[in-house]
Amino acid sequence: MRIAIFLTAVLLAAPALADRNPATSPDGRWRAEVRTERRATMTTPGVNAIWLIDTHSGKRRKLYIGPTYFERDFWELRWSLDNRFVYYSTQESETSGGTHKVDARTGAEQTLYPGWLIGVLRNGPYRGYVLAQPHRYWVEGGSYNPVVVVRPDGREMFTVPGTKQVEGAQALPRWLRKKGWKTS
């Protein structure tokens, strides 16, 4: 009991996390990062935001402030190839993540795909498409996490070959190497 009280006190007294998951835009002009706007306490949930930093001037602006991070935290920030959107992952449920995008000009946010963000394809015929990893269930029972290629509008194109196995994400690097494709 004393250890739990001590750990709770240490966690609540810890400084706010800042500048997490930085991602630089393809043109190098902007850096997106997650910052804690309000730390969680025993009675108040915390809130995180995505900030943009102009790499030339150092000026910062808040792009998007999310719901409480008991509901949703941000990680895996990635940029679209045209510097227009910042993609990020969230935990949507006990077993599934979600991929979202925020317009870097307006701050408008939308859910892109029901799966964790893996990256953005940088070359090849699917250049600019997103790699995501949904959680799915076999009809016979059990589950798996394939990697899928998703258009920037959220439409799923196909499952990456070899990723329907239990540890399917391990097949992704081989597939990318074979194709000569890169991700962010």
Q: Is residue 173 part of a domain?
A: yes
Q: Is residue 113 part of a domain?
A: yes
- Total domains in the chain come to 1
- Give the CATH number for residue 164: 2.140.10.30
Structural tokens at position 139: 């009809």
- Region 137-151: what's the mean pLDDT? 92
In the chain, what are the helix, strand and coil shares in percent, each to the nearest 5?
15, 40, 45
- Within 8 A by CB and 6+ apart from 171, the residues are 147, 160, 161, 162, 163, 165
- Region 56-79: what's the mean pLDDT? 81
Q: Is residue 9 part of a domain?
A: yes
The confidence score (pLDDT) of residue 166 equals 58
Query: Whole-model pTM above 0.95?
Result: no
pLDDT at 8 over 60: no
Q: Is residue 134 part of a domain?
A: yes
Q: Is residue 184 part of a domain?
A: no
pLDDT at 116 over 50: yes
- Residue 183 DSSP one-character state: B
pLDDT at 159 over 50: yes
pLDDT band at 14 (very low <50, low <70, confident <90, very high): very low
pLDDT in tens, 36-45: 777 767 776 6
- Region 58-76: what's the mean pLDDT? 77
Mean pLDDT score of the chain: 84
* DSSP collapsed to 3 states, 57-82: CCCEEEEEEEEECCCCCCEEEEECCC
* Domain containing residue 119: 2-179
Q: Is residue 84 part of a domain?
A: yes
The confidence score (pLDDT) of residue 24 equals 96
The confidence score (pLDDT) of residue 68 equals 53
Structural tokens at position 87: 């993609």
- Region 14-38: what's the mean pLDDT? 79
- Region 19-29: what's the mean pLDDT? 88
The confidence score (pLDDT) of residue 1 equals 43
